[in-house]
Structure 1
Amino acid sequence: MANKIYTIGREFGSGGREVGEKLAAKLGIKLYDKELLQQAAKDSGFCEEIFENHDEKPTNSFLYSLVMDTYSVSGYSAAPFLDMPLNHKVFLAQFETIKKIAEKESCVIVGRCADYALSDNPDCINIFIHADLDVRIKNVSKNLNITENKARDIINKTDKQRASYYNYYTSKKWGDSKSYNLSLDAGKLGTDNCVEMILKFRELMDAMK
């Protein structure tokens, strides 16, 4: 049987990571979030710090890229790859790791343009988790133990970074329902019901094959 893949895009503070964790636990499959960065570093030969510094953030610092680009990349030695800016190399390495993971096992992948990397995979369901801003502010304020004003600032900054990264590297728009198979409001549904909706969607999709 083909591997079943679930990609989850998410607004910051919406509960997208929690949906992914619960979905993976219910299905007995692995969740890839920050773990994806570790695997991409191992596959590519880049140090993990580079992936962390570029994680869902377009890097505009020419000096940073120039300095960090001195790292050797053993797995990517083709001339066109060596001519790329560092942020493109990091994206491509991550892109390839996502495809390798999907070929190897059923899994849940959070963020990192995974839906775009697996756009030709018929067994991949692409989900976007969102929630009203007030709900997200309360979630972030509680989880990070910060004021609601600070939580609002972090949400705005993180969402802007994620949107810029996604829109730059894909042919789609971050958060637009047309970019995904399912768009779910975790603030209204709750994370458990989001998981049930995803599983029901899979059931219906498989029944149509």
Structure 2
Amino acid sequence: MNTIITIGRQYGSGGKEIGKKLAEYYNIPFYDKELLKVAAKESGICEEMFENFDEKPTTSFLYSLVMDPYALGYNAASFDMPLNQKVFLASFDAIKKVADEGPCIIVGRCADYALKDYDNKLNVFIHAPMTFKKSRIQEQYEVPEAKVKDVAIKTDKQRASYYNYYTSKKWGDLKSYDLCIDSSILGIDGTVELIKQAVALKEKNL
């Protein structure tokens, strides 16, 4: 196993659970919010700052940095970069750091874009109809039934805005990923099995 799996996901579709099951199967590191700790440690920026800006869109100035995100460097002494921009670039550095250490699973945070030059990655997007997501959101996140749909829509809008803002691609668009899977069709475990098969085929063809 030499593949880095990045997982984009709709809220409640099971992307995190699928990622954890894959990490357990392959016995490789799993990064979701764990990535924030890595970024904080490497950059020296307080972890709470990463939590505040995590997968949330910020100012339009960042668009220009996306074209060459390392042109300035978040520690550049000659440029007083706003904190949110430092956090964004530090997160990208953290993603590359963990990817350089070996195969792993990374959920969200534009990981597919950060690793666009890595040949050994498989970019997956997990989605599902609201009927499937509602019960999972109620059970796992303890969201009242009356608020489930609103919370799901709001969370996905934030994730889409963040992704669309910092990358040259569109969140959830087929062209942005190697695999787009409706987790309601095969279920969580079936989706895990499908991704395992994709990884095996990819590694066979490398």
What is the distance in 1 between the residues matched to 2:136 and 2:202?
32
Does residue 203 of structure 2 align to residue 206 of structure 1?
A: yes
Q: Which whole-Å CA distance do the structure 2 matches of 1:117 and 1:102 have between them?
A: 10
Is residue 10 from structure 1 mapped to residue 9 from structure 2 by the alignment?
A: yes
Normalised by the size of structure 2, how large is the TM-score?
0.89
Answer yes or no: is the 8 Å Cα contact 2:7–2:105 preserved in 1: yes
2:150 counterpart of 1:153 = yes
Shift of residue 12, structure 1, vs aligned partner: 0.2
Distance 1:9 1:77 in 2: 28
Q: Distance in 1 between matches of 2:9 and 2:82?
A: 27
Amino acid at match of 1:94: S
Which secondary structure does the structure 2 equivalent of 1:190 belong to?
Answer: helix
Distance 2:203 2:75 in 1: 40
Letter of the aligned partner of 1:180 in structure 2?
Y
Per the alignment, residue 29 of structure 1 pairs with: 28
Structure 1 runs (4+) deviating above 4 angstroms are none
Aligned to 1:68: none
- Deviation at 1:193? 1.2
Change in Cα spacing, 1:145 to 1:76, as seen in structure 2 (3 Å) is closer
Q: Counterparts in 2 of 1:127-206, with a 5 A limit? A: 127-206=124-203
- Kindly state the Cα deviation for residue 76 of structure 1 after the two structures are TM-superposed: 4.4
What is the DSSP-based 3-state SS (H/G/I as helix, E as strand, rest coil) of the residue aligned with 1:109? strand
Q: Give aligned-pair identity as a percent.
A: 57
Question: Hey, what's the Cα distance between the residues in 1 that align with 2:120 and 2:182?
Answer: 23
Aligned-partner Cα distance in 2 for 1:85–1:146 = 34
Give the Å deviation of 1:147: 2.5
Counterpart contact for 1:30–1:108, Cα < 8 Å: yes
The two structures have a TM-score, normalised by structure 1, of: 0.87
Please say if 1:77 is aligned against 2:75.
yes
Deviations 1:74-121 (A, max 9, x none): x943246x4333222111100011001101121100001000000111
AA partner of residue 95 (structure 1): F
Structure 1 residues 147 and 76 mapped into 2: Cα distance closer, same or farther (>3 Å)?
closer
**Alignment deviations for residues 115-156 of structure 1 (CA, whole Å, 9 cap, x no partner):** 000011110000000000121122112223332221111101
Which 5+ residue runs of structure 2 have no aligned equivalent?
60-72
How many residue pairs were aligned?
193
